[in-house]
Amino acid sequence: MPVVLDLGCGSNPRPGAIGVDRQHHSGPDVVADLNRYPYPFRDSSADEIHLDNVLEHLDDVVATIGELHRIARPGGLVRIVVPYFRSRWAAVDPTHRQQFSVASMSYFDRDHPHAERYGYSSARFSLERLTFNQSWSKRGPRAALARWASAHPERYESRLSHLVPLDELVFELRADKPQP
């Protein structure tokens, strides 16, 4: 049985996942403050880890990504949904501590030159997929733009995002680490 974690699940954990939240009243399976490390999970114990509109609220992205790497099994999926930095939602919420662009996970991508050059973290992932507005409607002009932007994220960000900002980014990462 795969181990799926839903970090910052609130009162709606994804079906079949272990819900983790700091609020006891929301009824998570595990009560944990995601700003405190280490998380209460063994090394290489999770097949999938989901953070849906959570990472932007946390204090230290580098430490959090390192902790996700620690608990993900080799090749495990880490799916992170965040507001896109040009979205009005990114700046409106006063509890948002971080903003994210298409290159925000580059420092953790095993194939990106910044990862080794800056050495912020030893956590390495392969960026499997980057999409815009994945949970939104699949029809209409904004959906067509989101599909195009997902296929050409750097072009969208440099040429169009200031004119027609999309709302959300989804990073799907695979933990790059040896078998224990």
pLDDT for residue 111? 81
* Domains contained in the chain, number: 1
pLDDT for residue 25? 84
| 40-62: average pLDDT | 97
For residue 54, the enclosing domain spans 4-133+168-175
pLDDT for residue 113? 76
pLDDT tens digits, residue range 72-126?
A: 999 999 999 999 999 888 888 899 999 999 999 988 888 877 666 666 788 899 9
Full-model pTM: 0.92
| CATH code of the domain covering residue 66 | 3.40.50.150
- What Å distances lie between residue 122 and 30, 67, 84, 87, CA to CA? 27, 11, 25, 30
What rounded mean pLDDT belongs to the chain?
Answer: 91
Residue 92 in any domain: the answer is yes
Q: Are 18 and 6 in contact (CB under 8 A)?
A: yes
Residue at token pair 């405190």? 36
Q: Are 116 and 108 in contact (CB under 8 A)?
A: no
